[in-house]
Amino acid sequence: MTAPVVEAVDIAKWLGTGAAQVQALKGVSLTLRGGELTLLMGPSGSGKTTLLSILGCMLTPTRGTIFQSYHLFPTLTAADNVRLALDVRGDNSARALAKTKDALAMVGLAHKAEAFPLELSGGEQQRIAIARAIVGQPSAILADEPTASLDGENGNAVMTLLAEIAKDRSRGVLVVAHDPRILRFADRVVHIEDGCIVREERGGAVLKKDESDCAIHDHAEKHDAVQE
């Protein structure tokens, strides 16, 4: 088993204030290992995106992030959108340009380097977003429903790409997903409901079904919680 690239322990999160306050995460622990694509599945409001966003903000220097709606900069070319991920971290050397070309080539869009996002299809935009996420060679890649806005063909292409990236044993990929059609790309599937991880599967076998996990942390949250 490879070393963990992300290890979150006992994450709790409250959203809102006063009477409207709800607990989005109730003491979630999750380990993401290199060389595997983990699917985080669950119904709407279960806490998937909240967990992903917390992981994303905790891991600023070492993660790449893929958003549901791409969030490409419309006024920058595809190449500049990718290079931006390096530029914001202070890498604006000639090597950054080479890394950008490599990342675009990896997602199969080297020929679209000078195109603006509006000139690209939805699938191409998501692949540019993936290139942006991987250009810094992060150990963890977090993807928030990367196929949500795509048709079946483009969704498959994107997931194939992410699965390919996850073959690298130094990288772990965590994908938040609704769509059961992408289950086949996952090495591991983690189910979350009501802010708790309720089930974990690997290769069809159930590895964990620990209902008590949340109950324990419901009591511990007062001192461990990440409160808003």
Among residues 185, 196, 144, 135, which one has the least CA distance to residue 12?
196
Residue 22 within binding range of other proteins, rule CB under 8 A? no
Per CB under 8 A, the segment of 63-71, 151-159, 160-168, 186-194 that binds other proteins is 63-71
Residue 68 within binding range of other proteins, rule CB under 8 A? yes
Residue 104 within binding range of other proteins, rule CB under 8 A? no
User: Any idea which residue has 């969030």 for tokens?
Assistant: 71
d(CA 213, CA 206): 16
Residue 160 within binding range of other proteins, rule CB under 8 A? no
CB of residue 147 to other proteins, shortest distance in Å: 16
d(CA 88, CA 74): 17
Q: Which of 2, 21, 58, 71 binds other proteins (CB under 8 A)?
A: 71
Residue 91 · residue 82 · CB < 8 Å: no
Other CB atoms within a 10 A radius of the CB of residue 166 amount to 23
Contacts (CB under 8 A) with other proteins, residues 116-155? 132-133, 136, 144
DSSP string, 42-70: --TTSSHHHHHHHHHHHTTTTEEEE-TT-
Per CB under 8 A, the segment of 21-29, 82-90, 178-186, 188-196 that binds other proteins is 82-90
Binding region for other proteins (CB under 8 A): 49, 52-54, 56-57, 60-61, 63-65, 67-69, 71, 73, 75-76, 80, 83-85, 87-89, 92, 132-133, 136, 144
